[in-house]
Amino acid sequence: MTPPGLTLALSALLFGLGVTGVLVRRNVLVVYMSIELMLNAANLAFIAFGRLHGGLDGQLFVFFSMVVAAAEVAVGLGIVVAVYKQLHSVDVDQLNLLKF
Amino acid sequence: MDFRPPDMNLWAALPTAVVGATALVTLLLSVLRPAGAARRSISFTLFGLALAAVGCLPAAIFRPGPSFQGMLVLDPAAVLLSLLLLGATAVCVLLASRYLVHDGVDAAEAAVLLTLGCAGMLFMVSAGNLLMVFIGLETMSVALYILAGLAGARDRTSHEAALKYLLLGAFATGFLVYGMAFVYGATGSLDLREIGARIAGGGAAPGFLAVGLALLLIGLGFKVALVPFHMWAPDVYEGAPTTVAAYMAVGVKVAAFMALLRVFNVAAGGAAASWQAAVAWLAVLTMLVGNLVALAQTSLKRLLAYSSIAHAGYLAVGLAAGGAAGAQAVLFYSVAYGFMTLGAFVVLLALERADDKPQLDDLRGLRRRHPLLAAALATFMFALAGIPPLSGFLGKWLLISAAVQAGQVPLAVAAVLCSAIAAFYYLRIVVYSYMREPADDASPVTLAAETRQALAACLIGTLLCSFPFGLWLLSAAGWAAGALR
Amino acid sequence: MTTGFAICFLVLAAVALAAAAKMIFSHHPVHSALYLVLNLCASALIYVLLGAPFIAIVQVAVYAGAIMVLFLFIIMYLNLGLAQDVADARSRRATALATAGLLAVLLLAGGVVRWSGDLAGRPQQVAAGQQALAAGQAGLPGAPAATPDAQAALQAARAAAQPQPGQAVTVEQIGVALFSRYALPFEVASLLILVAMIGALVIARPQLQRESALRKEVSS
């Protein structure tokens, strides 16, 4: 397989692991870290495709996606702390979160 | 290396620039002059939003075309939905000045967050590039995560709603970015027009494209609450302050559907075979589940949440139909849906008491307690149910005829059947407010000035989308859909 | 692909995968965070291998640095003990693993099997796409009217500024792109950061207000 192919396989596996983490874990912080793993897998795919196509689009998207992730984490952890102060728990099940 | 300044077509960026500037000035004013900041920041925000609406007009006249290297496309469709979103934001700011402030929220903060969220939505509806869709969506979402938790000091469920919305929103973002990566991989471009040209020219890798579009559909499906991805919506709408729930139900859905329209219907229109069936199934599932579960609800807020899920299904029918007819139907229905849903939420806010969420029983005898409110509620419910002369009927008629034109007759039949189910619970609300006697301890309903203004705005909007005037909007939507590319 | 490249890549990929798996199944949130840092650093090195040194540095500085420090700070601030959920979540794990496994298999099967074809046919497809694009742009009424000379100059400039497939991207190229082609997203990103800043303050506000009220009481 070509390097982009290998990188894409790696990114698919990392993405799958991230989704698993979101669905399996109940600790909100670990769930959020798993979401970061998913984003990282997507970034990896962007870099691989960027190398395949040439040009700057892939790498600049990754740059912006990191900016977005940083902003989202800042707000997200703020909300986690606010919830923890009220409920003294960061358990997804106790919050009735992710009810499928 | 030579540096090329960006092609700054400021006409195209005028509305969004005005909205952003409004937020910044409101923020600065409220910090520099805290005395009387609440009233001033609300009126200044409303003024800024009106100015931004005026700022859309040059774009409608001069048709600036893609600007900022194709990042921003303020075409007629974007102008139409920008006007709707600016109006919806203005109504929500008006409501926030009354109800969120009641919950102990600073008026200036609420206004600034609503305005910045609106800027994100405007970038989304006029995005010409996947990157702009992504950043616009995130600006909108981050503002809404915070807005959902605004009433946290008073109401425990508000913070919970914020956390739930945040986690599922971020989860959806993961799918969205991964999907964008695959679409980029398939076509070698992030620009929606280039993507469209490559797909039409057969220069797109089919495997990557199918995976990418599927992931994009999941990511945006979470945002608009299409059925397998809808489970957050009722809880978040119920926990969030009602003003914010109304903003989510209208703003997020309209902006995200425009993004779906641009990505699927316009850019990936050449690869319709790979996504049309999936979108059609999601539409059927969404209409069925949304309407059937809404039947069983007694909490009005949850009922409206499921109703807005069902309406995402109707909009998805237009998406699945594809082509100019489908785009026209989605544009028209977005505007009609925006006004009628916003109106229903305003009535809900007027009925809300300090400590409990309004139930179906709270509507008993509304005709006697406040005849005007009852009449407005009946109008919105008839419109949502799709009773003939009103906006909902025109919208559904457009959607269904688009589906029939596209040869998707089963989809059209499903949409008709689901509207029939929906009529039952919408009409039940009217029956409760008109034909049931009020409970003995029913308190009289009084409307604040802001509520009256918001209600009037939604009512006028709904009537303007309804039969005689609606035909004008219908042709405008048709024109805008024809100019989409 | 040289052998050295392949060995580096495979080792880093193995590290990244192992760290990700350990992150998900660690009992202690701090361990999870540290494993995620390891995963992010391994990914950063893969970025270097793939010709994205700038992104690699940003990844280490922003992601593995700032974001993960924030995570660790919050974990320790909330003083969370051992997570019970790893042990309790057996039944959930079964369904979730099935779901995620299905997703990964779909991605791999729907992707990898056809990827080889998609990747192999790349150059021809790019050429076909560019032809189609040129044809499409010629036919578009809204396309800006430019003289042939200007267009040729533009394309030459683009070719000079754009890295070719397989080439590394320099920081200079990214900087120039960020302030020309990507100027608008850059500005919107600043709005996004403003929203996040206001948001973090708004969320922390009730606490701040209570504290300042307390301070007033104490002083009076």
Tell me whether strands B66-67 and B72-73 are parallel, antiparallel or unpaired.
antiparallel
3-state class percentages of chain C: helix first, strand second, coil last, to nearest 5: 85, 0, 15
- Residue B299: strand pairing partners: B359
Best of B74, B100, B123 to disrupt the C interface (most C CBs within 10 Å) is: B123
B295: amino acid identity, one letter: L
- The pLDDT of residue B274: 86
For testing the chain A interface, which of B144, B155, B171, B187 should be mutated: the one with the most A CBs within 10 Å?
A: B171
Number of H helices and E strands in chain C, helices first, is: 11, 0
Best to test chain B binding among A57, A59, A60 (most B CBs inside 10 Å):
A57
Q: What's the pLDDT tens digit per position in A28-84?
A: 899 999 999 999 999 999 999 998 888 889 999 999 999 999 999 999 999 998 888
Residue B37, phi-psi category: left (phi > 0), alpha (psi -120 to 50), beta (remainder): alpha
Q: Residue-wise pLDDT tens for chain B (485 aa)?
A: 456 666 777 888 899 999 999 999 999 988 888 777 788 889 999 999 999 999 988 887 877 778 888 899 888 999 999 999 999 999 999 999 888 877 778 888 899 999 999 999 999 999 999 999 999 999 999 999 999 988 877 777 888 889 989 999 999 999 999 999 999 999 999 999 999 999 988 888 888 899 999 999 999 999 999 988 888 899 899 888 999 999 999 999 999 999 999 999 989 888 888 899 999 999 999 999 999 999 988 889 999 999 999 999 999 999 999 889 999 999 999 999 999 999 999 999 988 876 677 888 888 888 888 889 999 999 999 999 998 889 999 999 999 999 999 989 999 999 999 999 999 999 999 998 888 877 766 677 788 888 999 999 999 999 999 888 888 998 999 998 888 87
Q: pTM here? A: 0.89
Helices B391-405 and B300-321 pack at an angle, to 10 degrees, of: 30
Closest approach of A83 to chain C, Cα-based (Å): 10
Q: Cα distance from A26 to chain C (closest Cα, Å)?
A: 6
Instruction: Walk me through the domains of chain A, giving residue ranges and CATH numbers.
Output: 3-87 (1.10.287.3510)
Interface of C with B in 146-175 (CB under 8 A): 157, 160-161, 172-173
Interchain contact A28–B (C-beta under 8 A): yes
Residue type present at position B250: V
Paired tokens of C197:
């800043």
Q: Classify B359 as helix, strand or coil.
A: strand
Work out the end-to-end distance of chain C between its first and last CA atoms, rounded to an integer number of angstroms.
Answer: 74
Nearest residue of C to residue B215 by CA position? C107
CA atoms of B292 and B222, how far apart (whole Å) = 20
Q: Tokens 């190398």 label which residue?
A: A51
Classified as helix, coil or strand, C103 is helix
Contact predicate C85/A29, CB 8 Å: no
Q: What is the pLDDT of residue A96?
A: 60
Q: Which helix (H) or strand (E) holds B73?
A: strand B72-73
Please, what are the averages of pLDDT over each run of 10 residues along chain C (220 residues)? Answer: 82 94 88 93 93 92 89 85 54 65 66 54 48 46 46 53 73 87 92 92 70 62
Q: Where are the alpha helices (DSSP H) in C50-112?
A: 53-58, 68-78, 85-88, 90-106
- Angstrom distance (rounded) from CA C198 to CA C201: 5
Task: State the best of A61, A85, A94, A99 to mutate against chain B, taking most chain B CBs within 10 Å.
Answer: A61
Do A72 and B173 make contact, defined as CB atoms within 8 angstroms? Answer: yes
- Min Cα–Cα distance to chain C from A8, Å: 8
CB-CB contact of A25 with C26 (8 Å): no
Tokens 């699927």, residue?
Answer: B264
Contact of B307 with B422, CB cutoff 8 Å: yes
State the smallest CA–CA distance between residue B239 and chain A in angstroms: 12
Alpha-carbon gap, residue A79 to B141, rounded angstroms: 14
> For residues B4 and C183, what is the distance between their CA atoms, to the nearest angstrom?
11
Tell me which H or E stretch contains B199.
Answer: helix B192-200
Structure tokens at B448: 């604040």
What pLDDT is recorded for position C102? 67
The verdict on domain C1-84 having CATH code 1.20.120.1200 is: yes
Burial B45-55 (b: 16+ CB within 10 A, else e): bbebbebbbeb
Which residue in chain C has the smallest CA separation from A2? C1
Say yes or no for a CB contact (<8 Å) between C67 and A44. no
Backbone angles phi, psi at B129, to 5 degrees: -150, 145
Separation CA A93–CA A11 (nearest Å): 29
Inter-chain residue contact A74 with C50, CB threshold 8 Å: no
Q: C47 in contact with A at a CB cutoff of 8 Å?
A: yes
Structure token digits, residue B203: 């220069």
The predicted pLDDT at position B388 comes to: 85
pLDDT of residue B257: 95
Please say if the pLDDT value at position A98 is more than 50: no
Q: Show residues of chain A in contact with B152, CB under 8 Å.
A: 82, 86
- Annotate A8-35 with DSSP letters as a single string: HHHHHHHHHHHHHHHHH--BHHHHHHHH
How many whole angstroms separate alpha carbon B282 and alpha carbon B317?
9
Contact A24 C40 (CB under 8 A): no
- The distance of C130 to chain B (nearest Cα, Å) reads 7
Report the pLDDT value the prediction gives residue C220, as an integer from 0 to 100: 60
Q: Which residues of C97-116 are buried (b: 16+ CB within 10 A; e: fewer)?
A: eebbeebbeebbebbbebbe
C-alpha span between B307 and B291 (Å, rounded): 7
Backbone torsion region of residue C81, taken as left when φ is above 0, otherwise alpha when ψ lies between -120 and 50, otherwise beta:
beta
> Is C182 touching B (CB cutoff 8 A)?
yes
Q: What is the pLDDT of residue B150?
A: 85
| ipTM of this complex | 0.94
**Helix, strand, or coil (residue A3):** helix
Going A4 to A5 to A10 to A14, the CA torsion angle's sign is positive
| Best CA proximity match to B420, nearest among B394, B395, B453, B396 | B396
Q: Which amino acid is at C166?
A: G
Give the pLDDT confidence score for residue C214 in this predicted structure: 61
Q: Determine the pLDDT at residue A88.
A: 76
